């Protein structure tokens, strides 16, 4: 009797533990699914001079859940996926060295981004035009992922339906077919691969190129570009990743902000659990019309000077910005929740730990799937201003801390 009672109790405890383990496992898996911090690697940053050259071996794989390789391309004749910089990707074993990050960081997921600004939209438009071409493309992607050991594809078509970038009126439907067919092929492969799409935050672009709810259903994740919403081309000084509208946001600029961009997807029928918010690790720079007119919205006459790392007018990485901030006047745009800085006629709208925290808070409150940051080589990776990767570490750490606000934090042991 005693023995039987004891064994019943043991059984009850064992069952209880099993149930608890399942519950905890569910929470942890849900948590990890809802907690992605996607970092971006750019192959061209290797071309910087001397010790500024950013290598695959520099990637801090301990800080990110995923790293994306920028970029691969669509071959304009075969419509297959192809290397964009074969002299590096293949000859210098770029793909292989990237895949080897998993030896060092076993939990890290690796994605390949296809497209980008320089790639343009026309090759996507041509490739997606017929089912036969899409099939060839998708088959080549499956081969590519097998061969190099990546875990998925991020489609960076900038932008479907945009005529100035080689688009056509059929892009909107064809883009959806492409993503759906890719998703199907990945499911068939049974390797847990994912297909995500990088998408804009502005309404006019969404209308011509994106079937919001169908695309979201077909894709595993939607990566909303929450930056580059303003720049020197607008002829007035502004931050480029504002969280919300300011009084001066009128006409085309009304609603062109991070919250509204994500909301267009949410209200369009895309669940928050599929949306990843993109944040910048760079600033947009300007030359002011007059040194006195330095508030947000002041007239500008062009792009700020190029930096020694990034070498592009109107654009500076945080690695460059952090070294010049001590000589500048620092300000905070309260509604945008973004910092800006000026010195005489030089003006920068950028991103810092405070603005990143504001964006993360909002992403957490809205239960988004995660954050992606562009890009590792724009953060202060050499530690010119302190400990290396200040912004990447802020995101990783603060995002981790906010877990307790939305999830019961069980330890999986
Ligand atoms: C797209 O297709 C058109 C028509 O066949 C062709 O003229 C054009 O060169 C193609 N574009 C690219 C980038 O391959």
Question: DSSP readout, 73-113?
Answer: EE-TTT-SEEESSHHHHTTT-HHHHHHTHHHH-TT-EEEEE
Q: Hey, whose CA ends up nearest to atom 1 of ligand 1?
A: 126
Q: Is 402 in the pocket of ligand 1 (CB under 6 A)?
A: no
Q: How far apart, in whole angstroms, are the C-alpha atoms of residue 361 and residue 365?
A: 6
Q: Is 76 in the pocket of ligand 1 (CB under 6 A)?
A: yes
Q: What's residue 22's pLDDT?
A: 46
Which of ligand 1's atoms lies nearest the C-alpha of 126? Answer: 1
Phi, psi of 201, deg, nearest 5: -105, 0
Q: How far apart, in whole angstroms, are the C-alpha atoms of residue 254 and residue 1?
A: 77
Here the tokens at position 379 are 């953060």
Here the tokens at position 368 are 């988004």
Q: How many helices (H) and strands (E) does the chain have?
A: 14, 15
Q: Hey, whose CA ends up nearest to atom 6 of ligand 1?
A: 126
Q: How far apart, in whole angstroms, are the C-alpha atoms of residue 210 and residue 49?
A: 40
For the chain, 413 residues long, give each residue's pLDDT as a single digit of tens: 444 555 555 555 555 555 554 444 434 344 345 489 999 999 999 999 999 999 999 999 999 999 999 999 999 999 999 999 999 999 999 999 999 999 999 999 999 999 999 999 999 999 999 999 999 999 999 999 999 999 999 999 999 999 999 999 999 999 999 999 999 999 999 999 999 999 999 999 999 999 999 999 999 999 999 999 999 999 999 999 999 999 999 999 999 999 999 999 999 999 999 999 999 999 999 999 999 999 999 999 999 999 999 999 999 999 999 999 999 999 999 999 999 999 999 999 999 999 999 999 999 999 999 999 999 999 999 999 999 999 999 999 998 888 876 554 333 32
Which of ligand 1's atoms lies nearest the C-alpha of 125? Answer: 1
Q: Is 165 in the pocket of ligand 1 (CB under 6 A)?
A: no
Q: What's residue 10's pLDDT?
A: 57
Q: What's residue 25's pLDDT?
A: 41
Q: What's residue 412's pLDDT?
A: 33
Which of 232, 239, 241 minimizes the C-alpha distance to 306? 232
Is there a contact between 141 and 75 (Cβ–Cβ < 8 Å)?
no
Q: Hey, whose CA ends up nearest to atom 7 of ligand 1?
A: 126
Q: Is 126 in the pocket of ligand 1 (CB under 6 A)?
A: yes
Q: What's residue 402's pLDDT?
A: 84
Q: State the distance from the centre of ligand 1 to the C-alpha of 126, rounded, in angstroms.
A: 7
Q: Is 401 in the pocket of ligand 1 (CB under 6 A)?
A: no
Q: What's residue 24's pLDDT?
A: 44
> What predicted TM-score, i.e. pTM, was given to this entire model?
0.91
Q: State the distance from the centre of ligand 1 to the C-alpha of 217, rounded, in angstroms.
A: 30
Which of ligand 1's atoms lies nearest the C-alpha of 76? Answer: 14
Quick one: DSSP state of residue 236?
A: B
Is there a contact between 300 and 232 (Cβ–Cβ < 8 Å)?
yes
């Amino acid at each position: 009797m005693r023995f039987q009672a004891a064994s019943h109790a043991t059984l009850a405890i064992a069952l209880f533990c099993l149930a608890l383990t399942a519950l905890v496992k569910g929470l942890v898996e849900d948590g990890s699914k809802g907690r992605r911090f996607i970092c971006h690697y750019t192959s061209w940053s290797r071309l910087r001079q001397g010790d500024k050259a950013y290598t695959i071996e520099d990637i801090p794989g301990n800080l990110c859940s995923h790293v994306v390789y920028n970029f691969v391309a669509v071959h304009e004749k075969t419509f297959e996926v192809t290397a964009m910089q074969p002299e590096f990707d293949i000859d210098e074993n770029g793909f292989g060295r990237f895949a080897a990050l998993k030896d060092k960081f076993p939990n890290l997921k690796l994605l390949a981004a296809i497209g980008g600004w320089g790639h343009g939209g026309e090759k996507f438009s041509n490739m997606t035009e017929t089912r036969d071409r899409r099939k060839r493309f998708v088959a080549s992607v499956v081969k590519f992922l097998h061969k190099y050991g990546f875990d998925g594809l991020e489609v960076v078509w900038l932008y479907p339906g945009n005529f100035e970038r080689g688009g056509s009126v059929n892009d909107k439907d064809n883009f959806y077919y492409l993503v759906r067919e890719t998703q199907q092929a990945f499911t068939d492969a049974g390797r847990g691969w994912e297909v995500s799409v990088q998408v804009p935050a502005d309404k006019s672009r969404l209308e011509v190129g994106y079937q919001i709810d169908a695309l979201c259903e077909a894709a595993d994740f939607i990566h909303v570009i929450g930056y580059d919403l303003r720049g020197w081309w607008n002829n007035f000084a502004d931050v480029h990743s504002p969280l919300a509208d300011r009084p001066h946001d009128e006409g085309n600029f009304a609603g062109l902000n991070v919250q509204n961009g994500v909301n267009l997807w949410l209200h369009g029928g895309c669940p928050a659990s599929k949306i990843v918010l993109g944040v910048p690790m760079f600033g947009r720079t300007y030359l002011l019309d007059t040194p006195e007119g330095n508030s947000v919205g002041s007239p500008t006459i062009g792009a700020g000077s190029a930096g020694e790392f990034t070498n592009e007018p109107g654009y500076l990485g945080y690695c460059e910005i952090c070294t010049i901030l001590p000589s500048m006047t620092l300000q905070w745009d309260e509604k945008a929740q973004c910092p800006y800085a000026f010195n005489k006629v030089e003006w920068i709208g950028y991103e810092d730990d405070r603005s990143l925290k504001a964006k993360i808070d909002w992403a957490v409150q809205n239960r988004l799937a995660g954050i992606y940051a562009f890009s590792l080589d724009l953060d202060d990776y050499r530690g010119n201003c302190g400990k290396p990767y200040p912004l990447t570490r802020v995101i990783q750490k603060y995002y981790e801390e906010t877990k307790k606000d939305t999830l019961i934090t069980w330890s999986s042991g």
